[in-house]
Amino acid sequence: MTAYTAPVRDMKFVIEELADLSLINQLPGLQDATADLVEQILEQASRMGSEVLAPINQSGDQHGVTFKQGNVYAPPGFKDAYQTFVESGWPALSFDPDRGGQGLPEMIATAVNEIWQSANMAWSLCPMLTEGAVITLETHALKTIKDLYLPKLISGEWTCTMNLTESQAGSDLAAIKTRATQEGDHYLITGQKIFITWGDHDLSENILHLVLARLADAPPGIKGISLFLVPKFLVSPDGSLGERNDVYPVSIEHKLGIHASPTCVMSFGDQHGAIGYLVGEEHNGLACMFTMMNHARLAVAVQSLGISERAYQQALAYAKERVQGKSNTQQGRVTIIHHPDVRRMLMLMKAGTEAMRALCYVTATSLDYSNRTEDEAFKTKHLQLFALLTPAVKGWCTELAQEITSLGIQIHGGMGYIEETGAAQHLRDARITTIYEGTTGIQAQDLTDRKIIRDNGKTISSLLDTMRETADSLSQLDDNNSTIIHSHYTEAIEALAQAVSWLLDNYKDDINAPGSISYDFMMLTGTVCGGWQMARSAIVAHNKLNDASESHKDFYRTKQMTARFYAEHILPRASSYLKTILTGSESIMAINTDQF
């Protein structure tokens, strides 16, 4: 078993210095979210993570999920952990106080979610999906549905799933076939969904499925899909549980990772039709589901941050313990952390993880600003920024997590390849993050087509200006580290600016251009955004190091060096992505399918 402790110091740094808690708590309804309260919340979440969730991470992976006589059972300990989680009130963190929530900022929820994901990613998928569903119902459902279902979801007594995928409809949801027929005040749903995470389990007494299906008179394609709420057990108007609905798990998948998270084939309406209730308007289901998916996309980015942090902690502990070889600077045999190449790997893990953390929390603040501000222009600005950042953050963080969790194994040498060590689990678990909630390819396309081309580069240009302002502030600082960071950072910003111009200049003439360069474009955007946050970190660190009353000098010195490492080792990738982008589609599309 490997231990986990939440990196509360760094979380606090990001929350207070980069995600500007002091501005967030000036928003209407958020005045309670002060730094001391947030610290207490992080400390207690850390305790829950390390004492309740982390200890069942490896055992859950080894035991896996059980499917027995039509029911799915989570691994030993998962149900008790969920019970403790619910009793401690964590599911309600960011929700409406009028429905039993605690009304805390999304940004804080993001930080707390990182802790759950680090501690036990497979387990955390269950509350993660429920959280997304609450936001979707809150935004789109009728009041009667909200009143009946939301309190139990906010308390965590019931959980939710997201049912999009069918065997012929994965990335392309237009191909969905599941049918819905109106019958009085409800609908009957029939069809089969695959890959449904936590589709059935024994953690909660009821499960609510959010299901995409097609009405008989629906237009073809994505404009003909509607969203339905299908409870496992029907709920009486007084809130008590009634009959078992006609929705059942058919089987569970055997997977590369997240073994403790059931991935179910779900069958709707095998006997007489599963009763469902419309959420939002008919034929507008995909738009409603996007509320959930956008939430889930940031949540998956946070998941990849969490798993990277966990892999780093484990690799670091091993590097300080394993004795192998000699070093240039020390007598005798040394622990491997003394070897420069091991340092390189640890620094990459550390810098990458810290950049992801900053970017995820800062992105979440756009949700708080847009949800709460009364200033319309400010609201629009943050809605656009969030829409732009979501695919970049999801795509880049989840891809970087592959590299980081892989390095986690590398640092362990042969022991990393041995399952018992636990380092391999992080890589196996991380692997799904680039696939679900829209693959990397789909994120990249969303970024280039919908977020850049469609608004003619307006939002990203204003983001580039903000990034240049950070560069200007950095250039005013008179220390060597800041100068070095500034030089790499400005080069990377201009690489992104050049890529944006190239895309806008070329997408019309070469229809294959956007699809060919979208991955590199997404990675470029993520890398530069990460660099932006690290540059901001370096500015804060510089100021704190020059402040005589600051006692945490060591922390800020480390932060500054980590930012410099990011600038010297990760930011140069920007130029390489740009170089590829400028080559366009030719070498990708030249040979025909038979020539492969």
Partner 1 sequence: MKILVPIKRVIDANVRVHVKSDGSGVETANIKMAMNPFCEIAVEEAIRIKEAGHASEIIVITIGTSQCQDILRSGLAMGADRAILIETEAELQPLAIAKLLKAIVERQSPQLVILGKQAIDDDNNQTGQMLSALLGWAQGTFASKVVFNDGNVEVTREIDGGLETVSLQLPAIVTTDLRLNEPRYIKLPNIMKAKKKPLDILCPDDLGIDVNSRLKVLSIEQPAKRAAGIKLADVQELMDKLKNEAKVI
Ligand X SMILES: Cc1cc2nc3c(=O)[nH]c(=O)nc-3n(C[C@H](O)[C@H](O)[C@H](O)COP(=O)(O)OP(=O)(O)OC[C@H]3O[C@@H](n4cnc5c(N)ncnc54)[C@H](O)[C@@H]3O)c2cc1C
Annotated catalytic residues are 437
Least separation, in Å, of the C-beta of 11 and partner 1? 13
Query: What proportions of the chain, in percent to the nearest 5, are helix, strand and coil?
Result: 60, 15, 25
Q: Hey, is 209 helix, strand or coil?
A: strand
**Partner whose footprint covers residue 432, from partner 1, ligand X, none (CB < 5 to 8 Å by kind):** ligand X
DSSP 94-112: TS-GGGT-----HHHHHHH
Q: What string of DSSP letters covers 133-160?
A: HHHHHHHHS-HHHHHHHHHHHHTTSEEE
Q: Report the phi/psi class of residue 286: left, alpha or beta, with left for phi > 0 and alpha for psi in -120 to 50.
A: alpha
Residue of 57, 56, 198 lying closest to 125 (CA atoms): 198
Write the CA distances from 186 to 181, 183, 275, 337, 388, integer angstroms: 9, 5, 7, 62, 37
Secondary structure of residue 550 in the 3-state scheme: coil
* Smallest distance, partner 1 to C-beta of residue 307, A: 22
Residues 6 or more apart whose CB falls under 8 angstroms from that of 297 comprise 390, 391, 393, 394, 437, 438, 443
Based on the shown chain and the rule CB under 6 A, indicate whether residue 445 belongs to the binding site for ligand X.
Answer: yes
Q: CA-to-CA distance for 263 and 257, rounded, in angstroms?
A: 11
Contacts to ligand X from residues 218-277, by CB under 6 A? 255, 263
Which of partner 1, ligand X, none lies near 171, with the C-beta cut-off 5 to 8 A by kind? ligand X
Contact 408, 423 (CB under 8 A): yes
Strands 333-335 and 323-326, by their bridges, are antiparallel
For residue 218, what is the DSSP state? P
Cβ-proximal residue to ligand X, closest one: 170
163 lines the binding site for ligand X (CB under 6 A): yes
Q: Is 541 left (phi over 0), alpha (psi -120 to 50) or beta?
A: alpha
555 touching partner 1, by CB under 8 A: yes
Residue 270 phi/psi, 5° resolution? -65, -35
- Partners of 263 in the beta sheet? 197
Strand partners, 264: 196, 252
Check residue 136 for interaction with ligand X (CB under 6 A).
no
Q: Which of 5, 139, 473, 575 binds partner 1 (CB under 8 A)?
A: 5
E strand or H helix at 72 = strand 71-73
Q: Which is nearer to partner 1, 450 or 552 (CB)?
A: 552
Q: Does 430 bind ligand X (CB under 6 A)?
A: no
The residues in 186-215 that bind ligand X, with binding defined as CB under 6 A, are: 195-197
Which residue number, 105 or 224, has a Cβ lying nearer to ligand X? Answer: 224
**What is the closest distance, in whole angstroms, from the C-beta atom of residue 445 to ligand X in the complex?**
6
* Residues from 24 through 53 that contact partner 1 (CB under 8 A): 32, 34, 36-37, 39-41, 43-44, 47-48, 52
- Contact pick of 59, 66, 83, 84 for partner 1 (by CB under 8 A): 84
Considering CB distances under 5 to 8 angstroms, the limit depending on partner class, which of partner 1, ligand X, none binds residue 88?
Answer: partner 1
In the chain, the largest separation of any two C-alpha atoms, in whole Å, equals 82
Q: Among ligand X, partner 1, none, what binds residue 263 when CB lies within 5 to 8 Å by partner kind?
A: ligand X
Location of structure tokens 């819905």: 180
Does 436 contact ligand X by CB under 6 A? yes
Strands (E), 323-445: 323-326, 333-335
Applying the rule CB under 8 A, the residues between 90 and 129 that interact with partner 1 are: 90, 92-93, 102
Q: How far is the CB of 74 from ligand X (least distance, A)?
A: 15
Q: Is residue 175 near ligand X by the rule CB under 6 A?
A: no
CB of 545 to partner 1, least distance (A): 14
Contact flag: residue 457 with ligand X (CB under 6 A): no
- Per CB under 8 A, the list member of 223, 344, 450, 552 interacting with partner 1 is 552
Six-digit token string for 45: 């979440």
> Residue from 6, 162, 298, 447 that binds ligand X (CB under 6 A)?
162
Kindly state the tokens that stand for 176.
């969905």
Examine residue 335 and tell whether it contacts partner 1 (CB under 8 A): no
Residue number with CB closer to ligand X (514 or 531): 514
Tell me the window of 79-87, 169-177, 273-281, 468-476 that interacts with ligand X (CB under 6 A): 169-177
Give the nearer residue to partner 1 in terms of CB position, either 44 or 402. Answer: 44
The nearer residue to ligand X, 335 or 439, going by C-beta atoms, is 439
- Interface ranges with partner 1 (CB under 8 A): 5, 8, 32, 34, 36-37, 39-41, 43-44, 47-48, 52, 84, 87-90, 92-93, 102, 551-552, 554-555
- Interface ranges with ligand X (CB under 6 A): 162-165, 170-172, 195-197, 255, 263, 432, 435-436, 438-439, 441-442, 445
